[in-house]
Structure 1
Amino acid sequence: MEMLQHIELVTGPDPKGTIIWMHGLGADGWDFVPIVRELPLPEDLALRFIFPHAPPRAVTINNNQVMRAWYDIVPDGQSLDFARKPDEAGIRESQKAVEVLIEREKKRGVPADKIILAGFSQGGAIALQTGLRHAEGLAGIAALSTYLAIPDALAKEASAANRRTPIFMVHGTQDPVIPVALADASRKTLEAAGYPVQWTTYPMPHSVCAEEVEALGEWIAAKFRSRILLA
């Protein structure tokens, strides 16, 4: 599979870890680049951030408008509960594309256990989809304002290597795009399966807030500090 176009940003020489960060529907890789400078990361923690661009595709729920999307979203009959009719082909295609980026990092000398998958909305769904199924243990998964895209397949497809991978999961209580109830149901599914989930809600819409960025930065720093010291 051809590698996704992407943006790279390093916070220092000789990065010790990598964060692959997927954007939301209709955005692109540039969307979360500015957040790097806002994360409270230690100055001596050199990381590589990779922000891939999803390929353009027609999105059914948006009147078939072509935009960057990790998968199609099809409304479920009379409701907008798009999670009931997941675009499994598109989801799995994007999963494979992220796997290509992971393999490239491993070839660069960054092992899987020093890679975090992160994403917002659709991008967060792909971070969970890929991370929970990756054959080697990852440093963590950051799932922002998102949900499990194919929850019914998780039990069968989950990787034993990532059963204890830490998951940072946050959502807005005022989110009109992805209801907090859907995210909470995904969180409960993960916890019931034994995954360690750090779950927080904030009084925000479908977005990120300063408190969330602060908490995410601390979580990232803690995950890499522990793994680098043990290396």
Structure 2
Amino acid sequence: MKLERETLELGADIRHAVIWLHGLGADGHDFVPIVPELGLSKEAGVRFIFPHAPSRPVTLNNGYVMPAWFDIISLDRTKNSNLDDILITVGWINTLIDEQIELGIEPENIILAGFSQGGVIALHTALRYPKRLGGLMVLSTYFPFAEQTLDEMPKGYEQIPVFAAHGTHDPVIPAVWWEEYVPKLQKQGFEVESKSYAMEHSVHPQEIADMGLWFKALFDA
């Protein structure tokens, strides 16, 4: 599937790409307003891509049709989704990555970011893509099928820098889920910049500032 998307470019000489996935029920416009708040140079040479998830019935919401990267079956994080369903969407994001590579962006200069449900897809895509990517930003999310994914992950992918943030008062995806998956990544060898903020299932001003610093470090590398 070719995903519709919003695109925002900083500068004319584009050397980096950030593919940023929204959460359940939102769309690609959701995080566009945050880009100017990151404090990046207007000539940073970055293309931000915000794809729109297709609309589909969501089981947990009584079959209500809404933008969703995959179906949510229950509130039990150990069995609230289907891996095959997730991997279909991973294939769509792989196509977006392929497009950026064809446009001249090196894989190590492509960063995947995702909020909530989008974070799940960002994790699975970055750790399964045939070439090692340059960064992974996951916000207010969790990591279903983590053990299987990490076992199947190609050697060397633990060098991908990770920014993992969560709200301490999140009623949608409790902070304990974040506290569980971050150590799994660290045990695998990932260097994770792990941050928590006094917020619910949202984005905090300090979090935006921290994201900006993390992006700058990658873009200047």
| TM-score bin (small chain) | over 0.9
Question: Higher mean Cα deviation, 30-39 or 149-158?
Answer: 149-158
What is the distance in 1 between the residues matched to 2:42 and 2:27?
Answer: 27
Query: Post-superposition shift, 1:84?
Result: 2.7
Deviation above 3 Å: which 4+ runs of structure 1?
none
Q: TM-score if structure 2 supplies the norm length?
A: 0.96
What are the within-5 Å matches in structure 2 for residues 75-154 of structure 1?
Answer: 75=74, 80-154=75-149
Query: Post-superposition shift, 1:188?
Result: 1.1
Q: 1:55-88, CA deviations, whole angstroms, 9 ceiling, x for partnerless residues?
A: 111111111101010111111xxxx223433221
Aligned to 2:3: 4
Structure 1 counterpart of 2:118, one-letter code = G
Q: TM-score if structure 1 supplies the norm length?
A: 0.92
Structure 2 counterpart of 1:38, one-letter code = E
What is the distance in 2 between the residues matched to 1:147 and 1:157?
Answer: 18
Query: Post-superposition shift, 1:184?
Result: 1.1
Helix, strand or coil: the match of 2:182?
A: helix
Note if 1:202 corresponds to 2:197. Answer: yes
What is the distance in 1 between the residues matched to 2:211 and 2:145?
Answer: 25
What is the distance in 1 between the residues matched to 2:111 and 2:150?
Answer: 22
What are the within-5 Å matches in structure 2 for residues 154-169 of structure 1?
Answer: 154-169=149-164
What is the distance in 2 between the residues matched to 1:98 and 1:110?
Answer: 15
Helix, strand or coil: the match of 1:73?
A: coil
What is the distance in 1 between the residues matched to 2:162 and 2:180?
Answer: 15
Aligned to 1:229: none
Aligned to 2:63: 64
Query: Post-superposition shift, 1:43?
Result: 3.4
Helix, strand or coil: the match of 1:18?
A: strand
Structure 2 counterpart of 1:89, one-letter code = D
Aligned to 1:55: 54
Q: Which runs of 5+ in 2 are unaligned?
A: none
Whether the aligned pair in 2 keeps the contact of 1:137 and 1:162 (CA below 8 Å) is yes
Alpha-carbon RMSD across the aligned residues, in angstroms, is: 1.1
Q: Which runs of 5+ in 1 are unaligned?
A: 227-231
Query: Post-superposition shift, 1:8?
Result: 0.9
Helix, strand or coil: the match of 1:175?
A: coil
Helix, strand or coil: the match of 1:29?
A: coil
What is the distance in 1 between the residues matched to 2:204 and 2:85?
Answer: 29
Q: 1:3-33, CA deviations, whole angstroms, 9 ceiling, x for partnerless residues?
A: 2111111011121100000000000001111
Whether the aligned pair in 2 keeps the contact of 1:132 and 1:158 (CA below 8 Å) is yes
Whether the aligned pair in 2 keeps the contact of 1:136 and 1:161 (CA below 8 Å) is no
Question: Higher mean Cα deviation, 159-168 or 94-103?
Answer: 159-168
Note if 1:45 corresponds to 2:44. Answer: yes
Query: Post-superposition shift, 1:111?
Result: 0.8
Query: Post-superposition shift, 1:89?
Result: 2.0
Q: Percent identity?
A: 42
The number of aligned residues is: 221
What is the distance in 1 between the residues matched to 2:173 and 2:17?
Answer: 28
